[in-house]
Chain A
C-alpha cells in the first residue's frame, strides 16, 4: 500500500506482539527437531550422548541461549495477552512489556554464562 512507514509500529506494545508471534513461529519450527534429538535415546544412551557432546560447541550453545530467550519471551508475551484479555486494564503496559524483554534477555544470558 501507499504509506511507507507506520510510526505506531515503533510502539513497545506492537513490537511485543510481533516478537510474540515470531518467537512462537521459531519455537514451532524448532520443536520437532528438539523431539527428534531427544528421541535419539530410544535405542539407548549412546546416540543421545553423541548429540549432547556435539552440542557442547560454542556456536550451538549460543543458539541454545537464543532458544531460551525465545521461550522466555514467548511465555511473557503470552502472559501479556492473557492478562489483557482476562483482567482489568492496567496502564503501565509499555513499561511491563519492555521489562519482559529485559527479563528474557537476562534469563538467556544466565544460561549462556553457565554453559561456558
Chain B
C-alpha cells in the first residue's frame, strides 16, 4: 500500500430510503479511487457498510454510485479528480438515484432490468443452426449504428442521471432503449414488430426530451440520446405505415 499523504473526510449515505450521511476520515493515498475509499471504510472502520463492486477495473458495471452529486463508476473515479483540494477536501458518496435503496450504497436494480425486458432488449433469433450463418458486413450503416451502441454494461449511470426517469415512472430509460436500438439495427433479429410496438408505448422513446445527461454521463461514451432519436424516427415511420397500433 502506498503511503498516506494526508487525510480525506468522506460522507457516506447510511440507511435505506430514510437515513443520513455519516462522515468518516480515511487516509488519502496516491492514485486512490473512490472505490478504494469506500472499501477502506468497510474494512477498517465500519464493517456494517453495504456496497457493491466486482471487477474493480471498469468492465462489470457493479460499483456505480452518486459521487459528489454525479453518478459514476467508483472504481474508475480517482479521488484526485473529484476532490478539488490536494489536502483535506470533501467527498460525498450516495447510492444511485432513481432506484430504490436497499441499504447504504446499494440499490435494487430490478426495475432497471425489468424495463430492459419491457423494451424488448432481447435478441429474437430468425434462423436455426441448420441455416447458413448470416453474413454481416461491419461497415453497413445499420451495423455501424448497432456497434456504436452495443458496449453497454448495464451500470445504471444513465438511468440514475436521467431526469425523465425521475419525473416519469413508466419511462423505460436510456439503457433499455439503447439496447432496443442495437437490435432494431441487427439484421439477424426477427423481433422488430413487437420491439417497435414496445418502445412506442407509454414510457417509451417518445418520452425522451433529449436532455442528453445520459450521453454526457455514460462512462462508455455511448450516446443514448442519438439511439433514442433513431427509435423515434423508426417508430414514427412504422406508425405512418400502419405497422404500429397506438
Number of interface residues of B (CB under 8 A): 27
Nearest CB on A from B85, distance (A) = 17
Q: For residue A8, which residues in chain B have a CB less than 8 angstroms away from its CB?
A: 70, 161, 213, 216-217
Q: Does B182 contact A (CB under 8 A)?
A: no
Contact of B210 among A1, A5, A11, A84 (CB under 8 A): A84
25 pairs, A vs B, C-beta closer than 8 Å: A1-B97, A1-B166, A2-B13, A2-B101, A3-B66, A3-B69, A3-B97, A4-B69, A5-B69, A6-B70, A6-B161, A6-B163, A7-B68, A7-B69, A8-B161, A9-B213, A14-B212, A17-B209, A81-B210, A84-B226, A84-B229, A85-B210, A85-B229, A86-B229, A89-B226
Q: Is the CB of B229 within 8 A of A13?
A: no
Once the chains are docked, how many angstroms separate the CA of A28 from the CA of B205? 25
Say whether chain B's binding surface is mostly helix, strand, loop, or mixed. mixed
Q: Report the interface size class on chain A.
A: 20 to 34
Q: A84-B210, A86-B229 are in contact. List 6 more A-B contacts (CB 8 A).
A: A2-B97, A5-B69, A8-B216, A8-B217, A85-B229, A89-B223
One digit per residue, 1 when the CB lies within 8 angstroms of any chain B CB and 0 when it does not, for chain A 51-90 equals 0000000000000000000000000000011001110010
Interface positions of A (Cβ within 8 A of B)? 1-9, 11, 13-14, 17, 21, 80-81, 84-86, 89, 93
Q: What is the chain B residue whose CB lies nearest that of A2?
A: B94
Instruction: List residues 2-34 of chain B with CB under 8 A from any CB of chain A.
Output: 13, 19
Q: Is the CB of A85 within 8 A of B212?
A: no
